[in-house]
Structures are given as C-alpha cells and as structure tokens.
Amino acid sequence: DMPKRKPPHDPPAAFAVPVGAAPGCPYPLGASRAVELGPTAGPGWCNFALHSARAQKVTLFLQWRHGDGDAPETMELALNPTTHRTGDVWHVALPVGLPGAVLPMPSPASATGDPTGDPGFGVATVLYGWKVDGDVRRGGWRFHPGMVLLDPRASSLVPHLGPFADEHTTPPKLMGSLADVMNGDDANAFAVYVPRDARCSKPRLRRTPSMEVMYELNVSDFTGHLSFVASFGNEAAGPLSDGDVPSRRSIPKDFPGTYEAVLEKAEHIVNTGATTVVLHPIQASARRTRDDNFGQAPISVFAPDPALASPSRGEPAHQLRALVRGLQRRGLEVLAHVQITHLAEGSDEKPDTSSLRGIDAESYYQLGFDGRVEMNEAVHGATALNPTSAVTQRLLIDALRHWRVAVGFDGFVVDS
C-alpha cells in the first residue's frame, strides 16, 4: 500500500503564530514585569533583556503548561536586531495571562501540586531560556545555536517540563521560571503579609564580632544523615520503647537534605547558643549531587539550587525564603556564603556550557593572552569571572542586592 498523504490542512510541526510581542526595554536585565505596558499585578506584560555584545542572532525559548494535565508546549521567538536590540542588549516584551495571550499566567512560587501524583498538576508554569548564535570570526565559536541557555539573572531555576519537539534543540539542565517575576507579591509575602504565628518571637540584635557565635551549615548534610531520620521519627512517633525502630513513614522520601528540613531542626541550632547561621553556598550547581556537595561550582549567581528543594513544596526560591524567614523568626541572623569569583562552565578545551559562556564569554569572563577563558585552578572546571568588566560588576552587585531584598539574607561571606 502507498503511504497516506498528509491532509493539506494539518499544520506542520513548526509554524509561526502572532504572539503580540512588543519591542521591550533594555533595562533592567533579565526577566521583569513591564509595568509601562500593563498592570503592576496579576496578568500583564513581561520584559526579557539579555546582554550579548557579540551575538548576531538571539532567540527567546519558552516552555509552559497550564497545570490541568496538559502536555507542555514550547515556542521560540527570534529577535529582530532592528527593533529588539539596543547597544549590546537584546530585549522583547510578551503578554502573560492576558486575554488572547499565548502564555498563561504562572502560579505563585509557593503553589504546590498534587503531592501523591504529578507535582505540576494544578500549577501553571512558564519557563524561559535563550538561544544565541554569532560570527565565528568574532568569538562566535563558543555559541551553540541549538543549545538552550539559562538566563544569568533568573531568580528561580527549575528542570524543564518535558522533551522538546525540535530534535536539534539540546535540552537544558535548568530553565528560568516566571513565577516570582509575574507574582511579585509572592516574593515579598514573608516581609509584607507576615502571619501572627510567623512573626519574630525574639529580637534580632546586631552584635559585635566578639559576641557572635556562628553556626556554619551545609543544607544537604545537615539533615541528610540517618540520625536526622531517626530523630524526626522520634518526634513524630513519641518516645521509643526498647527494641523499637524509628518510624520513617511520616518522612517524605525527598525531605531530608532540603531547605524545609533545615527549618524543621531550627531549635537544635538555637539550643547550641548560636547567634548567626552561615549557609554554605546554595547557588544553583549542576554538579551538586555528583561532586559538588559544598557548592563551589555554581552555574548561577542569582538562583538557589533546586537540588536542595522538595519538588512538591513550591519553587526553590520560595523554599529558601521560608528557611531564611524561619531562622530569623527564632532570633538568628542568617548569612549566605556566596561564590562570585567563578562559574562552573569548563574550559575552552572541555566546555560545560550552561549560561554565560554561550551568551557573552568575552564580556563576563577573564581571557588570557591567547583569547581563551581563564580557569580558577582551585576548583575543577571553574571559569574565572572578570571583576574589572562593568557588565560583570553590575551582575554581581545586582545578585547581592537580590539575595538581600528578595530573599532576606542579613549579610554575606564572600570568597575573594
């Protein structure tokens, strides 16, 4: 039998649709609500801006689902350099959640799905990333037109929702989420709408260094040991009799080693007499579960690591905010140990591109006399950021401001 011909009215696998895009603004960089185009709360417009001095072609990659059990959808929006580029910044604005808009309104970062089934059921999600390409003669050999790169200023990173229809697109490790961007009230919920039982019961006083007692804490190790499971079982089931085994049924499998699990043992920290908690690096790391338990090889300076979050209890950014506010509620100062000298994107000989290296390596990273990116010899696969670059300086300052304002850290421990 001859193969059946495809009806002419069936659309091809890839086709163009009007999405109502606006030129957008070059600043602020990253994803932000475009208040000049729509309302300041609820459905509105989202502005996307990316700095890439050497790129000649930039494409915004989007993936979303409505949360009603539907399969994830994807869309690519190629930016026109005539209308979507100002200097070295590429930008575009899209409607989100408005009538007739392609993108749905994302659920708040605190939204949780079905804990017994699909964590994404009932949670509308919109993720984004970038594809960048350029001239090989102008450093474009580091670009990969088929690779989806995470936004260096994405405040919340989560795994992609599912496979892509385009077989030439390389699935990213993580993608940026618009939950906090479009639900700005949720990012400040702990600071503005503080429930009575969540208010600080002990005043947090600034102490001189000689009066501080610091408790350094690794999120994954602090509650990842078997002793935590046993103590949690004791608290849940009451005192144990001789021969009894601690019950683990009340502990979700993905609970130990997370932000929420640390908060569960906060009284232990208070009982030690500590006044300040120093969290070991919690920036997103692609190697956290492999060989980077400490967090020395981050791939982002803005986003917390999703590997330390429970997948069914909201997005990582929300869970980290809950941890910081919970510790502060008990009178503890919370400092963050941040890595701002390098990112783990490999060398030019052994690249591990996930973000800046494939976006604008010449602007963000230190280059040697031979034009190759320089490495931080103290950390395997760590590419050294260029602290003398104005673009890098702005990225790092904005990142520290984000950790302080949006997350609520009291201060930082910075590696030099």
DSSP 176-217: EE-HHHH-HHHHTHHHHS--GGGS-SS------GGG--EEEE
Question: What residue type is 68 in one-letter code?
Answer: D
Bridge partners (DSSP) listed for residue 201: none
pLDDT at 276: 93
Residue 73 carries which DSSP code?
Answer: E
CA–CA separation, 173 and 353 (whole Å): 10
Q: Give, rounded to a whole angstrom, the gap between the first and last alpha carbons of the chain.
A: 71
HSE of 32 in the Cβ direction (CA atoms, 13 Å)? 15
Mean pLDDT, consecutive 10-residue stretches, the chain (416 aa), reads 50 56 93 89 93 95 88 93 96 94 90 61 90 82 90 94 86 91 64 47 58 89 71 45 40 76 89 93 87 88 93 87 91 93 91 93 92 87 93 96 92 85
pLDDT at 289: 77
Would you call 132 helix, strand, or coil by DSSP?
strand
Tokens of 233: 């079982």
Provide the CA 29 distance to its chain's centre, in angstroms. 15
pLDDT at 192: 41
pLDDT at 164: 86
Rounded to 5°, angle at Cα 22 from 16 and 23: 110
pTM as predicted: 0.85
